Amino acid sequence: MKRETKGGIPGNHTKTEAKRLAITKEIAQQIRKTVPNRFDAIPEEWVTDFVPNLISVVIPTYNHERFLVDALDSVLSQSYPYIEIIVVDDGSTDNTPAVMTRYGNRVRYIRQENRGLSGARNTGILASQGEYIALLDADDFWENNYLREVHAALVADSGLGAVHTGMRFVDAEGNPQAQPGTATVPADQMYDRLLDGEFFAPSAVLVRRAVLAAVGLFDLDLRASEDWEIWLRVSRAYRFGGIAKPLLNYRVHGSNMSGNPEQMLRYQLLTLVKHFGPVSGEPATWPTPYRRAFAAVAYFAAQGFFYRGAATEGTVFLRLAMEANPDLTTSLDIFYELGCVNQPLGRRGDPTTLNLPQNAALLRESLSTIFQARDLPDALLAKKQCAYAHAYRALGTLAYNSGQRRAARAYLWQAARHHKSWLSEPSFIKLAIKSLL
């Protein structure tokens, strides 16, 4: 397939290629290692001695005095009555101890030197007595029927190892955000969807004690993405159910760890090594599950770098994602997210803060840089028209949803130029007609 040479900024291509070579070399060094899981040991009595039907709610906290009251009050207001609450203070330097005094013996309070989020969760889990373990991060809070519904789901289906719910995004003050919450995943599809980067918060999960006894606790080496790693282990061995209702309020605020793309990338690559073992060579030679998971990691990094304004790094990781999984070029969801890349989690798609012209220009420049590369694998080059078509269709949808109908018409016209069969597709035609009204 011919590589076009027009468009784009020549200097950008040279800069991007140099950055790509450096990043690719660094990643190759990381993923060829062998790194076993590192867990806290589980005593035999923890496995066998528990209280049936009791739900142990484990709340790790580190300098979250501002949010902790909302989390605790949401647990104490649950309609399910058989609970114990364990707060693990992971070395906070704020007024968390003073906050805890108001709860007295209603909450078990454990204070320890900082071990990280995995270590704090493990401390609480090992101190628990319940047949079921519910995780709640100190900056999140539940609807009052959360525990009743997740418990009922596990009781109704003994084949489920864990269950998760939908969630809604809220801001630092607890106000609902414009972005719709995440959807749930069918029980038999969870492992595959996690490989593809499915996101849900640990606070949305209830897991059986016996499941953690079988697969192990949180990995102590991971200071981020530790939830992704443990849910991969759980869903590989057990069915993982879902309740579509948004029963979790997931708080997005300035200190959320997921806002650091370098940190997330480092620990997500470590998760791949721990879960799959080492790999080497070109992505095309890797096992399919590894390629899919790596593509999800690379895309997540691309999104984070674009949001931070690091277009060169974002383009590099978008190419790495597409090389590992060329099917990403046909994902409207991915291009829709990139069309919202100036917006933080929780606000994506909000027309009041969306800078669509800037985001669209960034996406076009990134695709131009990727598909003009002389060393692009043929499998990805063959997807060029698909990539542009889906990018423009996603931008058209985003423009229409935000009330920018003239822009929507322009983007949809470009989408049809790259994918002429859409001119006979009812859903595309319907959107195009609505953009004219």
Name 428's Cβ contacts closer than 8 Å, sequence gap at least 6.
Answer: 393, 412, 415, 416, 422
**pLDDT for res 259:** 66
- Residue 12 pLDDT: 63
* pLDDT-derived band at 7, boundaries 50, 70, 90: very low
Environment class of 104 (CB within 10 Å of its CB; exposed 0-12, middle 13-18, buried 19+): exposed
List, for residues 77-89, the tens digit of each pLDDT value: 999 999 999 999 9
Boundaries of every domain in the chain: 10-32+279-436, 44-251
More confident residue, 7 or 186: 186
Rounded to whole angstroms, the Cα distance separating 30 from 78 reads 44
44-251 CATH fold: Spore Coat Polysaccharide Biosynthesis Protein SpsA; Chain A (3.90.550)
Q: What is the pLDDT of residue 178?
A: 84
Question: Binning pLDDT at 50, 70 and 90, where does residue 215 land?
Answer: very high
- The C-alpha atoms of residue 372 and residue 1 are separated, in whole angstroms, by 11
Provide the residue type at 398 as one letter. Answer: L
- Residue 51 exposed, middle or buried by CB count within 10 Å (0-12, 13-18, 19+): middle
DSSP β-bridge partners for residue 265: none
Q: What is the pLDDT of residue 214?
A: 98
Mean pLDDT value across the chain: 94
Q: What is the mean pLDDT of residues 256-275?
A: 87
pLDDT of 350 reads 92
CA 173 to CA 254: how far, in whole Å? 12
Q: Report pLDDT for 11.
A: 54
Q: How confident is the model at residue 256 (pLDDT cuts 50, 70, 90)?
A: low
| Dihedral pair phi/psi, residue 409, rounded to 5° | -60, -40
Kindly report, residue by residue over 306-329, the tens digit of the pLDDT: 999 999 999 999 999 999 999 999
Give per-residue pLDDT as tens, 160-193. 999 999 999 999 999 999 888 877 899 999 999 9
CA-based nearest residue to 172, from 342, 355, 346, 337: 346
d(CA 11, CA 278): 35
Cβ neighbours around 154 below 10 Å, total: 20
- The per-residue pLDDT for range 143-169, each reduced to its tens digit, is 999 999 999 999 999 999 999 999 999
- Tens of pLDDT along 12-48? 677 788 889 999 999 999 999 999 999 999 999 999 9
CA distances (Å), origin 219, targets 35, 168, 212, 294: 11, 27, 12, 19
User: What was the pLDDT predicted at 284?
Assistant: 86
- The model's pTM: 0.93
